[in-house]
Amino acid sequence: MSNESSQEPQGCFVPSPDVIANANIKSYEAMARWAQEDLPGFWAAQAEQFEWFRKWDTVLDESNAPFYQWFVGGKTNIVYNCLDRHVATWRRNKLALIWEGENGEVRTFSYHALNREVCKFANVLRSMGVKKGDRVTIYMGRVPELPIAMLACAKIGAVHSVVYGGFSVEALHGRLEDSESNVCITCDGSYMNGKIVELKRIVDEALKRAATVEHVIVFKRIGHDVPMEQGRDYWWHELMGLPVARANGGNRCETEIMDAEDPLFMLYTSGTTGKPKAILHTHGGYMVGTATTLKWVFDLKEDDRYWCAADPGWITGHSYIVYAPLLVGATSFMYEGAPTYPYPNRWWSMVEKYGINVLYCAPTALRGLMRFGEAWPNRHDLSSLRLLGSVGEPINPEAWRWYHRVIGKENCPIMDTWWQTETGMFMITPLPVVDLKPGSATRPFPGVEADVVDEHGDPVAAGDEGYLVLTKPWPAMLRTIYRDPDRYVTQYWSKYPGKYFTGDSARKDADGYFWIIGRVDDVIKVSGYRLGTAEIESALVSHHAVAEAAAIGLPHEIKGNAIHTYVILKAGNEPSDALIEELKAHVGHELGPIAKPEKITFVPQLPKTRSGKIMRRVLRARALGLPEGDITTLEE
């Protein structure tokens, strides 16, 4: 590797011979070449490793691009491959899930036990009239019942829509209404950082605004009093209790036979308008893409204990806490609460206690833990760790080195995985056998093709900044935006016809390594969470004192980006510190605590184009003291 091309002064990290000797995939180049020469053959070989009720006729159908289809004609069900397949083998007694609550409670599920709970809950859903194709909203804390609910939906062919448990009333309302869910599954509350999040009360308030929900199923996590509406609200434990469960079919439930292209779930994510879009994923391609990437990148072995510290409410949790680990028959660990509760050694104590081999988390969490110093991790034996992973935002070299030295003891390669809600699976990522450069997600996964292009779609020179695009379809790709296929085309496929536009800017160095810079659209990544400026603005404008608002992201040491907002008050309202606090609380109540602005500035006007569009770019430049760039379209 040439030194001039490396944009990081500290050079690259070469995998040790024993990592290479033990790796599932020994040569990145060989796999990449195979996929380049025969993309359908490459993915078909991966798909062969699953159970299909009927084999596909065509691996990839491009005839209606960009509405690509994968494994066309194939029949399967992802849950059949996550559970049914394993319980028919010795794996029925293997641990599928180890869970620890924030209060120290521990629960474990073998594949047999997980399958039993999923079957029982699938029967509950069927008894409520939920059918193939129906949408079910899941709004829960990080408890085992969350994956159980997701898997139960998928088992009967219902489409789950998980809403992150840190979102609040209006965010939940919008997602319930857009998905037209008849059933909402929630908890009485959840524990987070020693406090209780009142999930059920938030559901009640959202349902006052939304009309479609007929049934609410409430899992009792806290045990405190919550209002239950007769005829609408049901306790999970009562529905799952013996008498009712037996009447509904007990521990047995047929897995619905699905088309490979049938929808599996939708997941709302932020884009350029105030209305979040529901990204749609399917049973077949998503299964093949997520399982293959997990197995190759995290190199999972039968006896590994793997921990993805994300939240199941985001894509990382869907793909790499719930589906992929079960598909490959792994043992996963899941933790309910905050990394620093009650002390900053919580994560490291659990790595030691459970003997975690592979840890996958976000740079923001690492930066948050770094500031407490090395003594906290050093109190624990972390020698079980073999591989580390990072996701959600660029990992700054300082955090990379800390992760590598203090947590990995310089023995663990770091898999920096770049991907999106839309891509479903890792896209640009190392394999353990690849040389690493801190801060680079390295090269595309075999079968994935990426490039960095200019405004016209032409590739830029090595080292230059440009737009990151994907130039070939991949099996776990989103199929559309639910109920909005036009937006799917304009958002992702229109800027550069034939190429998928990621919304990110990046550089590619002379070694072909990708360096992700960040979003170029109206998305802000706060602590790795994806939020839209328009959502934050519309939450602000829903307050009676606010006439107009603009939100931007500015660099933040721990969160990566922090939300800064500019607010024009309606006549008759005076700026004050009390009003600032009130507005922050209002955004927290409507959208969720993660969306609370770091800073609110009252302004008499906002920079706009002559057509009235807010120029957030100008606000950012002014806040950072940078040149304002082209402002010829700025209104006088």
| Termini Cα distance of the chain | 52
Close Cβ partners of 119 (under 8 Å, ≥ 6 residues apart):
152, 155, 249, 250, 251, 252, 253
Tokens 């749609």, residue?
280
Site for ligand WTA in 400-429 (CB under 6 A): 416-421
Residue 533 near ligand WTA by CB under 6 A: no
Least spacing, CB of residue 506 vs ligand WTA, in Å:
9
Among 32, 156, 300, 516, binds ligand WTA (CB under 6 A): 516
Among 317, 339, 444, 503, binds ligand WTA (CB under 6 A): 503
Question: For residues 190 and 319, which CB has a smaller minimum distance to ligand WTA in the complex?
Answer: 319
Return the bridge partners of 562, or none: 554
Q: Which residue is nearest to ligand WTA (CB)?
A: 421
Question: For residues 373 and 555, which CB has a smaller minimum distance to ligand WTA in the complex?
Answer: 555
Among 134, 262, 299, 504, binds ligand WTA (CB under 6 A): 504
Question: For residues 108 and 273, which CB has a smaller minimum distance to ligand WTA in the complex?
Answer: 273
Residue 534 zone, left/alpha/beta (φ > 0; ψ -120 to 50; rest): alpha
Residue 608 near ligand WTA by CB under 6 A: no
Residue 12 zone, left/alpha/beta (φ > 0; ψ -120 to 50; rest): beta
Residue 392 near ligand WTA by CB under 6 A: yes
Going by C-alpha positions, the residue among 368, 389, 407, 362 that lies closest to residue 556 is: 368
Residue 316 near ligand WTA by CB under 6 A: yes
Residue 293 near ligand WTA by CB under 6 A: no
Residue 391 near ligand WTA by CB under 6 A: yes
Residue 393 near ligand WTA by CB under 6 A: yes
Q: How far apart are CA 110 and CA 117, in angstroms?
A: 11
Residue 157 near ligand WTA by CB under 6 A: no
Residue 519 near ligand WTA by CB under 6 A: yes
Site for ligand WTA in 439-458 (CB under 6 A): 441
Give Cα separations from 556 to 361, 364, 515 (angstroms). Answer: 18, 10, 19
Environment class of 427 (CB within 10 Å of its CB; exposed 0-12, middle 13-18, buried 19+): buried
Residue 502 near ligand WTA by CB under 6 A: yes
Return the bridge partners of 187, or none: 219
Find the angle CA(90)-CA(95)-CA(98) to the nearest 5 degrees.
Answer: 175
Count the site residues for ligand WTA by CB under 6 A. 23
* Three-state DSSP state, 160: strand
Q: How far apart are CA 361 and CA 352, in angstroms?
A: 16
Residue 117 near ligand WTA by CB under 6 A: no
Residue 311 near ligand WTA by CB under 6 A: no
Question: For residues 190 and 417, which CB has a smaller minimum distance to ligand WTA in the complex?
Answer: 417
Site for ligand WTA in 258-277 (CB under 6 A): 269
Going by C-alpha positions, the residue among 417, 439, 448, 419 that lies closest to residue 430 is: 417
Least spacing, CB of residue 513 vs ligand WTA, in Å:
12
* The two structure tokens encoding residue 565: 């907002």
Residue 290 near ligand WTA by CB under 6 A: no
Least spacing, CB of residue 393 vs ligand WTA, in Å:
5
Least spacing, CB of residue 435 vs ligand WTA, in Å:
17
Among 283, 530, 543, 584, binds ligand WTA (CB under 6 A): 530
Site string for ligand WTA, 32-51 (x = CB under 6 A): --------------------
To which H or E segment does residue 317 belong?
helix 315-317
Strand order in the sheet with 215-219: 233-235, 215-219, 183-187, 135-139, 159-162, 263-269, 277-282, 480-481
Residue 102 near ligand WTA by CB under 6 A: no
Q: Which stretch binds ligand WTA (CB under 6 A): 8-16, 43-51, 102-110, 496-504?
A: 496-504
> What residue ranges bind ligand WTA (CB under 6 A)?
269, 314-316, 391-394, 416-421, 441, 502-504, 516, 518-519, 525, 530
